[in-house]
Chains A and B, each alone.
Chain A
Amino acid sequence: MLAYVIKRLWQMVPTLFGVVLLVFLLFHFFGSDPSIILAGQNATPEQIAAIRQQLGLDQPAYVQFGIFLKQIATFDWGRSWATNEAVSTLFATRMPATLTVMLPILILDTVLAVPIALGVAYVRGSLTDRTLMVATTVALSISFLVYVIVGQYVFGFQLGWFPVQGWSNSTWTNLTQYAPLPVLLAVMVGISPQTRLYRSFFLDELGHDYVRTARAKGMTEPVVLFRHVLRNAMIPILTNVGLALPGIFVGSFLIEVFFSIPGLGREVLLAVNRSDYPVIQAATVYLAMLTMLINLGTDLLYKVVDPRVVLK
């Protein structure tokens, strides 16, 4: 187990190096000159030169890459160009809001989609199944944006069940007052693709011989479904949840922007609009790291869920 983890961590190094290289090249060769962004519109050539020197932009590319690597290793990205906040503080203060919204979404999505999918897969080909599949196809064809616009209008403005938008300092108020509407809308949208996907996993399992064997042995249907099929379908479901997991740190940009939730997603989008390179670079590199670690965690979980899995 430990050897496996070490091996996997070692394998991440080249990938991570690639991510760093990609981000560096992207911003170094394709981005506009940071010194011009920083100096503003009425800068003298001397001011620009001074900023270039300060950022090390007058150095050759490999030296700059060295500076970049050092920033990553020491977790010191300096300050946001726009707000002059330290990038690390920025992350630490924006992350809780993102998690407050994204964690309930992921949990509800999974908890609701799994039983629905199992139920639909069980009655495959029936009217319920076909109706639900058509409904999800149509539901999927409508943009997330429409759900959010209409949802906010109907639930927040017309019916007044939730505040239209807002955010407070208390996590409890946020969870009970401000988060429910965005969470509800995101779950409504997320549940269609999840159900379709999990349905296909269950269908796949239901066709296996062991299901027929279990039924032939006289197992009751609930036992067949929950003890046999569900456990076997756990692997692909887990993979899927694992794939979605890094997303809860990124946050839903659309939801955060739309509901003015001061989370990480909104912050990164603001950074993109302000050409605030340190924030974008830091977000990209660290979230890539996090994604890889979560993938490793998912692979380790396979072993827990399915003893047949051999980690190698």
Chain B
Amino acid sequence: MSAVMTSSADVPVQRSAGVWLTAWRRFQGDRVGMVSMVVVAAFLLLIAAATTGLVASQWQRELAVPNAPPTILGPRAGEDAGTLAGPESQAQPPVDLSDIDPLAPRYKEWAERASKLQTTETVKAQTLPLGADRLGRDVLAKAIKGTEISVFVGVLAALLATVIGTVLGALGGFFGGKVGDFLEWVYNVFTAVPDILLIFAFAAVLGRGVDTVVLILALTGWTGLYRQVRAEFIKHRGREYVRAAEAIGASTTSRMFRHILPNVSHVILVRMSLLVVGFIKSEVILSYLGLGVPIDQVSWGTMLAEAQSELILGHWWQLATATAFMAVFVTAFSLMADGWRDALDPKLRGAE
């Protein structure tokens, strides 16, 4: 108490490092976490570039022969050996039909009109850096565009689920009583139904599309976060700093969201990063099952769904590319989240 009294203008106030600063210092010592964060940041730059149209905006253009292999493999042999030669023996001289052909007088006119139109003969590439899909679209461009959509779905759904879980958890934990009981009931209802069935039930009524996937994942995925935020709020609501805030007249909302929330935000952040990973994986499965990203857009999920039939024909590059992009991002993101968790909440170290 005396320390507070004497800390006037002439005595330099020794502010102790806040929870974020301490965590950041601890995180800097975590080499795996730092590298992962750099990888995730690189992905975010790539996504920003894709969103602004700098890269991969032309992913739908068919600029190579169907299923063109990656450049290192070289062009496919045998298939591009020119046009098929017709059976020689049956070749007959063209018969002159101009006297009986009713369209004959107009052929010249049509030929003139056709010559006025400009046609450009696009040369389809035989190989592409990472190959092409069955329509001849660049797999690399697709993967970059797919990264944008998949990560967008994962992050947005996680944000939405976090908002739902945090608000409900804060209300339930702070007020308890009737409100708390009601929210516990809602929680019990949502957890009583197996996750995937809940997702299906929502998908059945909400339809298809990227925004629907986000909505479905958020509406079914908020429960774990709610539980944790609620527990934290119960723990904090009776603490001295909250009562002090009450004593100086802080409103209920202010106490909940300006005093308690910053103190539990690290828990929320860690939970949210785990949700991102989970949702990205869910999007892949949902897209494969036909409940996710529609076919006129591309995501890692739709790429993998296409890859199934390609693999049988030996075209493995789309599968490999989508898998590699996803594996690198998800691994980096999980390791970064692990690092954050260890740095922010050392008690949880080593726990799943």
> Which of A19, A22, A145, A203 is packed against the most chain B CB atoms within 10 Å?
A145
Q: Quick check: A142 and B193 within 8 Å, CB to CB?
A: no
Q: Place the interface of chain B in its size category.
A: 35 or more
Minimum distance in angstroms from B182 CB to a CB of chain A: 10
Q: How far is the CA of A292 from the CA of B190 in the complex (A)?
A: 12
The DSSP consensus for interface residues of chain B is: helix
A197: which of B190, B301, B327, B352 is its contact (CB, 8 Å)?
Answer: B352
Q: Quick check: A149 and B189 within 8 Å, CB to CB?
A: no
Considering the complex, give the chain B residue whose CB is closest to the CB of A27: B205
Minimum distance in angstroms from A105 CB to a CB of chain B: 15
Choose the segment among B6-14, B151-159, B257-265, B288-296 that binds chain A (4+ C-beta atoms closer than 8 Å): B288-296
Residue B281, interface by CB 8 Å:
yes
Q: Quick check: A15 and B197 within 8 Å, CB to CB?
A: no
Q: Quick check: B331 and A137 within 8 Å, CB to CB?
A: yes
Residue A226, interface by CB 8 Å:
no
Residue A118, interface by CB 8 Å:
no
Minimum distance in angstroms from B60 CB to a CB of chain A: 23
Q: List 7 A-B contacts (CB under 8 A).
A: A15-B188, A143-B281, A197-B352, A250-B196, A268-B200, A283-B197, A284-B201
A253: which of B188, B196, B301 is its contact (CB, 8 Å)?
Answer: B196
Contacts of B284 in A (CB 8 A): 143-145
Residue A234, interface by CB 8 Å:
no
Q: Quick check: B285 and A254 within 8 Å, CB to CB?
A: yes
Q: How far is the CA of A144 from the CA of B200 in the complex (A)?
A: 18
New A-B contacts (9) at CB < 8 Å, excluding given A18-B185, A254-B288, A268-B197: A15-B185, A22-B189, A138-B331, A143-B285, A144-B284, A193-B352, A203-B350, A273-B290, A287-B197
Q: Quick check: A143 and B326 within 8 Å, CB to CB?
A: yes
Q: How far is the CA of A254 from the CA of B319 in the complex (A)?
A: 17
| Interface of B toward A, CB cutoff 8 Å | 185-186, 188-190, 192-194, 196-198, 200-206, 281, 284-285, 288-291, 300-301, 304-305, 307-308, 311-312, 319, 323, 326-331, 334-335, 350-352
Q: Quick check: B204 and A145 within 8 Å, CB to CB?
A: no
Q: Quick check: A18 and B189 within 8 Å, CB to CB?
A: yes
Residue A275, interface by CB 8 Å:
yes
- Interface of chain A residues 51 through 102 with chain B (CB within 8 A): none
Q: How far is the CA of A138 from the CA of B304 in the complex (A)?
A: 18
- Interface of chain A residues 129 through 180 with chain B (CB within 8 A): 137-138, 140-146, 149-150, 153, 157
Contacts of B285 in A (CB 8 A): 143-145, 253-254
Q: 1/0 per residue A234-277: CB within 8 Å of B?
A: 00000000000011001001100100000000001101110101
A31: which of B205, B328, B352 is its contact (CB, 8 Å)?
Answer: B205
Q: How far is the CA of A16 from the CA of B311 in the complex (A)?
A: 45
B352: which of A14, A142, A196, A253 is its contact (CB, 8 Å)?
Answer: A196
Q: How far is the CA of A66 from the CA of B206 in the complex (A)?
A: 24
Q: Quick check: A143 and B334 within 8 Å, CB to CB?
A: no
Minimum distance in angstroms from A217 CB to a CB of chain B: 27
Minimum distance in angstroms from A103 CB to a CB of chain B: 16
Q: Quick check: A269 and B201 within 8 Å, CB to CB?
A: no
Q: Quick check: A142 and B334 within 8 Å, CB to CB?
A: no
B186: which of A18, A200, A254, A275 is its contact (CB, 8 Å)?
Answer: A18
Residue A280, interface by CB 8 Å:
yes
Q: How far is the CA of A169 from the CA of B163 in the complex (A)?
A: 49
Contacts of B205 in A (CB 8 A): 26-27, 30-32
Q: How far is the CA of A246 from the CA of B291 in the complex (A)?
A: 23
Contacts of A30 in B (CB 8 A): 205-206
| Interface of A toward B, CB cutoff 8 Å | 14-16, 18-19, 21-23, 26-27, 30-32, 137-138, 140-146, 149-150, 153, 157, 193, 196-197, 200, 203, 246-247, 250, 253-254, 257, 268-269, 271-273, 275, 277, 280-281, 283-284, 287-288, 291-292
Q: Quick check: A272 and B203 within 8 Å, CB to CB?
A: yes
> Which of B196, B305, B330, B352 is packed against the most chain A CB atoms within 10 Å?
B196
The DSSP consensus for interface residues of chain A is: helix
Contacts of A246 in B (CB 8 A): 194
Q: Quick check: A14 and B185 within 8 Å, CB to CB?
A: yes
Considering the complex, give the chain B residue whose CB is closest to the CB of A252: B196
Q: Quick check: B192 and A291 within 8 Å, CB to CB?
A: yes
Minimum distance in angstroms from A73 CB to a CB of chain B: 18
Considering the complex, give the chain A residue whose CB is closest to the CB of B319: A149
Q: Quick check: A144 and B204 within 8 Å, CB to CB?
A: no
> Which of A15, A21, A268 is packed against the most chain B CB atoms within 10 Å?
A15
Q: Quick check: A16 and B192 within 8 Å, CB to CB?
A: yes
Q: Quick check: A31 and B204 within 8 Å, CB to CB?
A: yes
Considering the complex, give the chain B residue whose CB is closest to the CB of A18: B189
Are A254 and B189 CB-contacts (below 8 A) given A30-B206, A277-B204, A287-B194? no
Considering the complex, give the chain A residue whose CB is closest to the CB of B201: A284
Are A26 and B202 CB-contacts (below 8 A) given A141-B334, A146-B323, A288-B193? yes
Q: How far is the CA of A103 from the CA of B197 in the complex (A)?
A: 19
Are A144 and B281 CB-contacts (below 8 A) given A31-B205, A137-B331? yes
Q: Quick check: B326 and A141 within 8 Å, CB to CB?
A: yes
A143: which of B186, B190, B290, B300 is its contact (CB, 8 Å)?
Answer: B300
Contacts of B323 in A (CB 8 A): 142-143, 146
Contacts of B185 in A (CB 8 A): 14-15, 18
Q: Quick check: A142 and B327 within 8 Å, CB to CB?
A: yes
Q: Quick check: B350 and A149 within 8 Å, CB to CB?
A: no
Q: Quick check: A142 and B192 within 8 Å, CB to CB?
A: no
Contacts of B206 in A (CB 8 A): 30
Q: Quick check: A291 and B194 within 8 Å, CB to CB?
A: yes
Q: How far is the CA of A149 from the CA of B331 in the complex (A)?
A: 20
Minimum distance in angstroms from A78 CB to a CB of chain B: 17
Q: Quick check: A23 and B327 within 8 Å, CB to CB?
A: no
Contacts of A145 in B (CB 8 A): 284-285, 288, 301, 304-305
